[in-house]
Every structure is written in C-alpha cells, then in structure tokens.
C-alpha cells in the first residue's frame, strides 16, 4: 500500500512536492488551498480526487492520509505544521522552517510529542553536487572545515512588491530568511556546529525601485507592504572554533546572481555553486562542484562531475521525505538543525537592529 499524502498550498512550489512524492511511490490524494480555484486547477490536471479549502477540512475527511506537506507562505508554516502533527500526520514543510526560533521550538516539541517525522525542504542538500561534496567531506579527505562562505546574492531579484514575500509579518524577513539555503548548506557541510557569536548588518537600498524586481515571485500588490531588508552581510563563529561568512541579497550592486558555498578545510577546500543564466531561471543554470587540493606538492583544482538536476534538488528532497517515513532512506535534514538555523536567522536580525554582536545560546 502506498503512503497517502496531502498538499497544503497549491502555489508555485507544490509541483515539486507532487513530483517528488510520486517519484518515491506515494499517492497525493488531496490538496487544500484557501483559494479553491487554485486547488481545483492543480488537482484537475493531475487527477487528484480531494480538493479542500483548509487543512482541517482535509484531515476530517482523509482519515488514511499519513503525511502532509506545507507549501504556504511562511507565516502559516508553524500553525499548519502544528495542526497536522497534532492530528498524527508526518510533515514535510517548505523553507524557511518558521518565522523565528520560538515557533521552530514549538514545532520540534510537537513532532517529538506526536512521534512523527518533521522535515523541511532544504532542497539544496539534495542537489547531486551537494551530495557529492558531503560524501567527500564525510570520507575525511577535506579534513576539518575551518571556515566557509555562504552566499546567495541577487542584483535585481525582489520577488514582487507588497506581496507576502516583502511583508515581514507574513514572511519573517527578506533575503536573509528567503534565501537561507546556502547558510543551511554550509552548516550541513560543517556538521551543524554549535554557534557562538554573530555580527550582522542589513541594507534597505532599492526596496522601492521596480528596476530591482526579479523575473520570479508573485504579482505586485498595489497597497501592499514592503518592509524587509534588501541585503545582508554577517559573520558567525562557532564554539568549535570554526567560522562562517554570510551574504544574502535580493537587491544589491553585485556583478551578477551568485549562489554558492565555499569552504576551506585542513586538507582540502571546495565549492558548490549554481550560476544562473541571464534570465535567472533554473533551466539555463549551470551547477558545479569543485575541490581545491594539494596533490604530490601540486596545487590543483578538481571538478566532481555529477548528473544534472534542473530542479535544484527539489524533487529529490520531497522524495527523501517519503523514503524516510517508509524506512528506505535516512532523513536529509532534522528539526534540531532547523532550530539552530532559525536561531542564526534571529541573531542576524537581532544584531542588524541593535548594531551589536549577538551571543547564541
């Protein structure tokens, strides 16, 4: 019998959840969206029988549904996840895990209480390049990672003005929280060490300038709110002695969009990168995985060639959730890691607003 899954939120990301779940042999039996027309359009093209306007309505009817994925705007990640966990369902939730660490603490406690799996869509971990690099690091050949740089910077990538992405109360923040993928990937490569201190600055330039809007996101809302940062620079130290530099932006005078984690180990360094095409879309991008080595006294750069994945690991990450709950795979991420990540995000906003370093506890 295949696992039955329901999707909450039939927006842009729901396609990848559907593809990943079905790839892993699960059956998507229903979709809930407060916008019934959207849910209806999604289910119709895929022959999904259940269409609901809320998670509560879906759970009341779909008694044999074992898992739920949360693909709503960020503000609803915590309440929808708590509702699904307390109804005894496993949960796969989009990133960011929550608006802040306090919410994430509640979600972690709820998953423990329910004894159910809680995973997040840190899809960049599922990229073939990231898995190849993680395997290399795990083999010990890179030695200890001393330092890393995580960056997802966009020159003109504001995802629409006045919609939920740019309204702090709905999104939790701008590029710091939206583009947290490379911070998570760097921490994953470093084995999620315990953070110590963080110092950050954020900048708001260009947040009212339509020339800095990206080719993706949601339509502008005429009277909507735009009150999030445009760019962030931060530096994080860990109790282990390691350190991480962070750069995230939607609008900043950078050369071009750049998405990478670079690290320096005691035996080797490495870089996992995605270079988007000029149009900034996935299908024209180039992914790479490169090692920086000293072999027999020679300084060499060596590429690790992996299969291409235009979805940036999104399908693989959703498939891993199903394979985790069916016992066929180890989870690609754990809620305890998501809590550390949300503490780092909180510290970035805390330090940027106070102008002082933050000690993470």
Residues that bind ligand NAD (CB under 6 A): 8-13, 32-35, 38, 54, 71-74, 76, 80, 94-95, 121, 123, 218, 314
Task: For residue 187, report the phi and psi dihedrals to the nearest 5 degrees.
Answer: -65, -35
Q: How far is the CB of 35 from ligand NAD (least distance, A)?
A: 4
- Kindly provide the b/e burial profile for residues 310-345, where b requires at least 16 CB atoms within 10 angstroms of the residue's own CB: ebbbbbbbbbbbbbbbeeeeebbbbbebbbbbbbbb
Residue whose CB is nearest to ligand NAD in the complex, by number: 11
Given the complex with ligand NAD, which of 32 and 145 has the nearer CB atom? 32
Given the complex with ligand NAD, which of 12 and 88 has the nearer CB atom? 12
Taking the mean position of all CA atoms in its chain, how far away is CA 130? 14
Given the complex with ligand NAD, which of 66 and 178 has the nearer CB atom? 178
Residues 186, 161, 157, 42, CA torsion sign = positive
Given the complex with ligand NAD, which of 12 and 25 has the nearer CB atom? 12
Work out whether strand 90-93 and strand 118-120 pair parallel, antiparallel, or are unpaired: parallel
Which residue reads 């993470």 in tokens? 360
Paired tokens of 129: 């390049």
Which residue reads 């996935």 in tokens? 282
- Angle value at C-alpha 78, between 76 and 83, nearest 5 degrees: 95
Given the complex with ligand NAD, which of 145 and 315 has the nearer CB atom? 315
Q: How far is the CB of 94 from ligand NAD (least distance, A)?
A: 4
Burial class (CB in 10 A: 0-12, 13-18, 19+), 305: exposed
Given the complex with ligand NAD, which of 98 and 234 has the nearer CB atom? 98
Q: How far is the CB of 32 from ligand NAD (least distance, A)?
A: 5
329 HSE (CA, 13 A, CB side): 14
Q: How far is the CB of 11 from ligand NAD (least distance, A)?
A: 2
- Which distant-in-sequence residues (6+ apart) come within 8 Å of 100 by Cβ? 172, 342, 345, 346
Given the complex with ligand NAD, which of 33 and 62 has the nearer CB atom? 33
Identify the H or E element spanning 21.
helix 14-23
Work out whether strand 243-249 and strand 258-265 pair parallel, antiparallel, or are unpaired: unpaired
Give DSSP secondary structure letters for 89-154. -EEEEPSSS-SSHHHHHHHHHHHHHHT--EEE--GGGGSHHHHHHHHHHHTTTT--EEEEEEEEE-
Q: How far is the CB of 14 from ligand NAD (least distance, A)?
A: 6
Q: How far is the CB of 39 from ligand NAD (least distance, A)?
A: 8
Q: What whole-number distance in Å separates Cα of residue 286 and Cα of residue 272?
A: 11
Q: How far is the CB of 181 from ligand NAD (least distance, A)?
A: 7
Q: How far is the CB of 176 from ligand NAD (least distance, A)?
A: 12
Q: How far is the CB of 233 from ligand NAD (least distance, A)?
A: 22
Given the complex with ligand NAD, which of 38 and 334 has the nearer CB atom? 38
Given the complex with ligand NAD, which of 226 and 242 has the nearer CB atom? 226
């Amino acid at each position: 019998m295949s696992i039955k899954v329901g999707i909450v939120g039939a927006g842009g990301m729901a396609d990848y959840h559907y593809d990943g779940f079905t790839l892993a042999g699960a059956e998507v039996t229903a979709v809930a969206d407060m916008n019934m027309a959207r849910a209806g359009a999604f289910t119709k093209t895929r022959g999904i029988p259940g269409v609901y306007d809320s998670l509560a309505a879906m759970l009341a009817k779909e008694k044999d549904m074992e898992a739920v994925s949360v693909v709503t705007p960020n503000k609803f990640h915590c309440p929808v996840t708590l509702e699904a966990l307390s109804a005894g369902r496993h949960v796969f939730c989009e990133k960011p895990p929550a608006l802040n660490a306090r919410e994430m603490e509640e979600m972690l406690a709820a998953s423990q209480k329910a004894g159910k799996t809680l995973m997040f869509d840190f899809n960049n971990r599922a990229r073939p390049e990231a898995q190849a690099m993680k395997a290399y690091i795990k083999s010990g050949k890179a030695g200890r990672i001393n330092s890393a740089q995580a960056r997802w910077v966009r020159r003109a990538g504001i995802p629409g003005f006045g919609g939920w992405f740019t309204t702090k109360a709905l999104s939790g923040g701008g590029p710091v929280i939206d583009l947290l993928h490379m911070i998570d990937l760097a921490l994953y490569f470093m084995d999620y060490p315990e953070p110590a201190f963080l110092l950050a600055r954020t900048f708001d330039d260009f947040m009212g300038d339509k020339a800095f809007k990206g080719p993706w996101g949601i339509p502008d809302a005429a009277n909507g709110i735009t009150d999030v940062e445009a760019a962030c620079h931060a530096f994080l130290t860990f109790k282990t002695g390691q350190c991480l530099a962070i750069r995230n932006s939607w609008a900043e005078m950078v050369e071009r969009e750049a998405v990478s984690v670079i690290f320096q180990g005691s035996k080797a360094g490495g870089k996992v990168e995605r270079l988007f095409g000029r149009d900034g879309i996935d299908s024209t991008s180039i992914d790479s995985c490169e090692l920086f080595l000293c072999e027999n006294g020679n300084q060499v750069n060596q590429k690790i060639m992996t299969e291409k994945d235009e979805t940036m690991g999104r399908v693989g990450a959703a498939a891993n959730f199903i394979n985790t709950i069916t016992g066929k795979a180890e989870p690609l991420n754990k809620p305890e890691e998501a809590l550390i990540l949300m503490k780092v995000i909180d510290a970035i906003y805390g330090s940027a607003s106070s102008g002082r370093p933050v000690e993470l506890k």
